[in-house]
Amino acid sequence: MSPSHAGASISTTSTSTSTSSQRCRPRPYSGNREALGWALDAVARIVAFIAPAIFLSTAIIHLAKKEAGCPTEIPEGYLEAPECDGRVYGLRPSSLLTTYGTIVGLISATLLPVVGAVLDYTSHRKLVGLISAVLGLIFIFVQIFISESNWFAMVILQVFSAFVAWIHTLTAFAYLPELTQDAKLLASWTASFHVNQYIALVLFLVYMLGILRATGFGDDVILASRVASISSLAIATPCYMWTWTSLMKRRDAFRPLPQGSMLATVGFRKVFLTSIVLYTRYRALMWFFVNVALVEAAQQSIAAISLTFMLDTLQLTVTEYGIAILMLFVFGTVGTIIGKVSMAWVDPIRSNQISQIVTIANTAMAAVILTGPGQQMRAYIVASIWGLGAGWKTMVERFMITQVIPKGQDAELMGFYLFSSQVLVWLPTLIFTAMNEAGVSQRVGVSMLIPFFLGGIVSLWMMGPYDDAVRLAREEEEEEVGSSDDGSGNGVEEKIDIDEDGEEDISIHTDL
């Protein structure tokens, strides 16, 4: 054998071995590039959220207090900082974050049907994902430069940043049902996405708390915010860019825009038509969505309200508040386990009600026992129970919706579920801000969340027996199958009647 042939033989063997090694090497998500992209995007989203939600927000409150002439530390000889009625831009410093939360909530609730229509009726889904990711990274970059002179500009920037982040999240979730046709595999991947996101959040918080402790930046909220923004940018940039330039694929319009309709209004019309059908045909499901609207409004507002309360009334440091948030998410996982176990003892409606009773009791306890500085351990306990209740409620609620929604209508009604979770999210922060501006104690303001949870418990009770709600969903599913299989024409006629009542129109609302 000549040297050249020997070399060729060796090369071929090497290539064969390399190929065999690649085949044996496990590929993430069975080689599904979009599933990998979704996982990376989920990590980027949570890291991009947590940096401003904790560290930038803490810096903003600190700088606002300083400009208003309020003490930012407890004076020597005092047990707590004196009450300060100073104002910046017409607001108390402690009202800034909840005002911002109200504005973002109103914008999100108002424009959700419009953004959903763009994703549903156009071929721009990937472009929206890419643009929103790039804008999000730009906002994070700008946040690095927060200072005493530009803090209010950062507040305004956060309104746009939060709205863009919300659009990006909606775009990512539009891809989720399309990652695979295998329902079991999709469920497994979805669980994996949530676990990865949770691990990323915990690791980021542990990393930040370690950095602050090692460097001593925990007492300097501006430096802490800058470190968090730089770290967030370093993690989110490669995840976002790889996902939206390489992994995610372009999508055609999911369906044609109905004749005579406009993108700006079609989503609102579908929400209206869905509401009518829920009222006339699916009362139990209607009350389920009422529960979602009330409880999600309170649950999502806890972040902004508790941040204001813990920094202003309890005067926690940024490190201490970071620990509280870490406890909230850790016990959120415990809550999901409790929720799963509880359904072996009681039906999901009762389990959901119990989870909300736990949250009510904890909120009332927070208003009673959290009175001022020096109560870090109590704050950690309250945050942990809030997390437990949230994880429990989320687990049971997501199981319930898979059982009480008629098959064949799950797409449009899942869209309505998303709308319900956002429609009132602005209200608790608005009420808290109004009370805070009127000089009402923030402890009373926190307890204002209780009526929302009470309303959620009542709406679950109005659903009636859980078995009846599930039975109605199964009967509707069987009717759909029967009408499609009936060769007599009766089933077709029945379908036409349903369409005239709005069901065909509702299907236009899918994925919103």
pLDDT in tens, 226-285: 999 999 999 999 999 999 999 999 988 877 888 877 888 888 888 888 888 888 888 889
* pLDDT tens string 362-373: 999 999 999 888
Mapping DSSP to helix (H, G, I), strand (E, B) and coil, where does residue 304 land? helix
pLDDT band at 153 (very low <50, low <70, confident <90, very high): very high
Query: Do 399 and 471 belong to one domain?
Result: yes
376 within a domain of the structure (yes/no): yes
Tell the residue number behind the tokens 């295998």, with chain if given: 182
Task: For residues 149-155, give the mean pLDDT.
Answer: 91
- Domain final residue pick, 198, 230, 254: 254
Tell the residue number behind the tokens 């709308």, with chain if given: 419
371 within a domain of the structure (yes/no): yes
Residue span of the structural domain in which 105 resides: 30-72+88-254
Torsion of CA 322, 325, 330, 336, to 10 degrees: -170
DSSP state of 249: P
Contact criterion met (CB below 8 Å) for 37 and 193: no
Mapping DSSP to helix (H, G, I), strand (E, B) and coil, where does residue 73 land? coil
Nearest 5°: the CA angle 468, 469, 472 is 85
pLDDT band at 78 (very low <50, low <70, confident <90, very high): low
Closest CA to 139 of 155, 115, 119: 155
pLDDT at position 187: 72
Cα-trace Rg, the chain: 26
Q: How many domains does the chain have?
A: 2
- Domain final residue pick, 220, 254, 288: 254
23 within a domain of the structure (yes/no): no
445 within a domain of the structure (yes/no): yes
pLDDT band at 293 (very low <50, low <70, confident <90, very high): very high
Q: What is the CATH number of the domain that holds 229?
A: 1.20.1250.20
| 0.75 surpassed by pTM | yes
190 within a domain of the structure (yes/no): yes
Query: Do 230 and 359 belong to one domain?
Result: no
Query: Do 246 and 308 belong to one domain?
Result: no
Q: Which residues pair with 91 in a beta bridge?
A: 88
Query: Do 274 and 372 belong to one domain?
Result: yes
pLDDT at position 262: 83
* pLDDT tens string 155-210: 899 889 988 998 998 888 888 878 888 867 877 887 788 778 888 988 999 999 89
Mapping DSSP to helix (H, G, I), strand (E, B) and coil, where does residue 149 land? coil
Query: Dmax over Cα atoms in the chain, in whole Å?
Result: 95
Query: Do 462 and 357 belong to one domain?
Result: yes
Cα–Cα distance measured from residue 221 to residue 219, given in angstroms and rounded to the nearest whole number: 6
Mapping DSSP to helix (H, G, I), strand (E, B) and coil, where does residue 91 land? strand
Q: How many residues make up the chain in this entry? A: 512
Two tokens at 272?
């209206």
Query: Do 228 and 294 belong to one domain?
Result: no
Contact criterion met (CB below 8 Å) for 422 and 80: no
- Domain final residue pick, 201, 231, 254: 254
Query: Do 278 and 171 belong to one domain?
Result: no
Two tokens at 366?
């927070």
Average pLDDT, the chain: 81
